[in-house]
A and B are shown apart, each in its own frame.
Chain A
C-alpha cells in the first residue's frame, strides 16, 4: 500500500513560515492525488489541501487559502506544504495522505490510504 514519511514540523512563532515535506515510497506517486490533513483535539480531522497527480489542479480549505501552498516533485516522490503567516489555530498534527481510487461500472471510489505518521506543528510565541 505504500509508505509516507512527513518531516519539517516544529515550534514556530505566529506570523512566521514553515515548510513540510512528505517522502513517498511503495506506490506510483506520480499517478496519485495527494492531500494534507491536519488534526487537533478540538477540531478533529480537518482537510487542508489537495494536489492532482500532475499538479494541474490544486484546492485549499478556506482557513488556509492564501497562506499555504501545496506542491509536489514527482521526480523525487515528494509532497510539500509551504505554510506562511502561521497563526495559533494552525497548531496541529499534519498528515500527508494519498487518495487511492477504484473505478468500476463507470463510478470512481476514492479514499485516503496510506497516511503518514504525522508531523507536529506548534505555533506559539
Chain B
C-alpha cells in the first residue's frame, strides 16, 4: 500500500498567516493527490483534486502543488473558518490511502 505522510502533524498560526502543509507519498502517485478539510463533527470536504485543481466553491486562498511523491497545500491568508484538520489522499492506487492529518489551530 502507498503510505502518505503529512507534515507537520499540527501547527499554530495567526489569522492572516500563510500556511503550508506537505504530503509525501511512498511511491509516485503522479498528480492523483487530493486535499480534504474536516471540521469538528463534520465529514471531510474536498478542497483540491488532481494535486492543484480547486474544487468549485472553495476559496482561492487555498492552492495545491506537486506531482510524483511530494505535494503541498497552501493557505495564502489564514481565515478564522480555516481552523480544521487537513488530510491528503492518493487516488492513483487501490487501496486509496490518506495522510494522518494536520491540525491547524489558532495561535
**A residues near B, CB below 8 A?**
35, 37, 44-47, 50, 59, 61, 95, 99-100, 102, 107, 109-113, 115-118
CB distance from B104 to the nearest CB of A (A): 16
Complex A-B: 22 CB contacts under 8 Å: A44-B87, A44-B100, A45-B87, A47-B96, A50-B94, A59-B95, A95-B44, A107-B31, A109-B32, A109-B50, A109-B53, A109-B91, A111-B34, A111-B50, A111-B91, A112-B96, A113-B45, A113-B46, A113-B55, A115-B43, A117-B43, A118-B43
In the complex, A46→B101 CA distance in Å? 12
B-side residues, CB < 8 A to A, are 31-32, 34, 36, 43-46, 49-50, 53, 55, 87, 89, 91, 94-101
Pairwise interchain contact B43-A95, C-beta atoms closer than 8 A: yes
- Cα distance, A119 to B73, chains bound together (Å): 29
Contact: B91 with A116, CB < 8 Å? no
A65 to chain B, nearest CB (A): 11
Q: Which of A61, A109, A111, A113 is most buried by chain B, counting CB atoms within 10 A of its CB?
A: A111
- In order of increasing CB-CB distance, the 8 nearest A-B pairs are A111-B49, A115-B43, A109-B50, A45-B98, A110-B91, A111-B34, A47-B96, A113-B46
- Contact: B45 with A115, CB < 8 Å? yes
Which residue of B has the minimal Cβ distance to A99?
B91
Rounded to whole angstroms, the CA-CA distance of A109 and B33 in the bound complex is 9
Query: Across the interface, which residues of B come within 8 angstroms of A45, CB to CB?
Result: 44, 87, 89, 98, 101
Residues in chain A near residue B32, CB distance under 8 A: 109-110
